[in-house]
Amino acid sequence: MVKNTSPDLKHYKKLLLDRQKELLAIAKMSQEAASPVELDQSRVGRLSRMDAIQGQAMSLEAKRRTDAELTRITSALKRIDVGDYGLCLQCEEKIVAGRLEIDPSVLLCVQCASQR
């Protein structure tokens, strides 16, 4: 496996850390939206409960996506530390810089991603 010694690693690390910080702030704010829905019919109307349940489901899906992205970011930061960042996990070729700019936590090159 070829080690990535690109001088842009500091740039990508900053992008990853900034996004991680942003996602953690969003996750903290959205914890309340994922709280259990009140089922007491004397306090909340049926449509309000349905709206709350839908909001809760959307919040839970957003949390799942946020957690997945945080996992990818943590993995990318580890790859920077060991010198494997920017290399496709499947074919081990370099991932083009434009792809890393769009998503610095990306795991696969365009060719391998399109094969999935």
* DSSP calls for 103-114: -TT--S-HHHHH
User: Which tokens hold the place of 45?
Assistant: 């109307």
Res 81: pLDDT: 95
pTM: 0.74
What are the domain boundaries of the chain?
Answer: 9-115
70-110 pLDDT, tens per residue? 999 999 999 999 999 999 999 999 999 999 999 999 999 99
Angle at 74 between CA 70 and CA 78, to 5 degrees: 165
Q: Which CATH class is domain 9-115?
A: mainly alpha
Res 13: pLDDT: 96
4-43 pLDDT, tens per residue? 545 589 999 999 999 999 999 988 877 655 555 555 555 5
Res 57: pLDDT: 86
Amino acid identity at 107: L
